[in-house]
Amino acid sequence: MFDTPLTDLLLAYAGFEYSIFDYCDTMSQRGVWQLKKLVVSYCNWGGSSRGVREFMESKLPAFKESNPQLEVETKHIGGQHPHLEGIYRNKNERTVCVRNMTPEEVLECATKLRNSLGRKVVKLKTRHVTKHPSVQGTWTTALKL
């Protein structure tokens, strides 16, 4: 990760507990928002963009204010269906098509993108991720209490 040292400095200055080992582990967030940029693409003519256009007028300013760390960009694409694109800190991009959705649904989609890490959507191996599985020593057949 070529930008790790700079981000380390920035976040250490910001006062966050932070270690390089933890940053390399993609699962860790540690108080750092993972969504860096949100691109709202819309069309001025198409009917499928109507919800997104209303969302941009009514709900997008409030969303921007509640997430100051997020860079929100609106992009006009003519003649295509609208979509939301989220770019995460681990360079992952997730695109959600929001055609024919109401402004409330578009806000829900945007909130879901903001709430998630950038990790690949794969079936979980375990629901408990730990680096130190045993505190009192792993059980063996030879152990006698």
Partner 1 sequence: MAHRRVFQTLIRQYSSSSFKTLNPLLQSLPRITQTQHFPQKLNLISPNLTPIQNTHFSITRHFSSNRSDDSDDDDDDDDDDDDDEGESLDEDDVVSGFSGKKEYTAEEKESEANAIGYKVVGPLERSDRVFKDYEPVFAVIQIGSHQFKVSNGDCIYAEKLKFCEVHDKIILNKVLMLGSPTQTLIGRPMLPDATVHAVIEEHALDAKVIIFKKKRRKNYRRTKGHRQELTKIRITDIQGIEKPVTQVVPEKIKKTVKKVEKVAVPA
Exposure class string for 95-121: b at 16+ Cβ within 10 A, else e? eeebbebebeebbebbeebbeebbeee
Contact 57, 41 (CB under 8 A): no
Instruction: State how beta strands 93-97 and 71-76 pair.
Output: unpaired
Which of 4, 66 has the CB closer to partner 1? 66
Q: Does 144 bind partner 1 (CB under 8 A)?
A: no
Binding mask 2-41 for partner 1 (x = CB under 8 A): ------------xxxx---------xxxxx-xx-------
Binding mask 65-104 for partner 1 (x = CB under 8 A): -------------------------------------x-x
Q: Distance between CA atoms of 133 and 2, rounded to whole angstroms?
A: 31
Under the rule (CB under 8 A), what is the footprint of partner 1? 14-17, 27-31, 33-34, 102, 104, 112, 114-117, 121-124, 127-132, 135-136
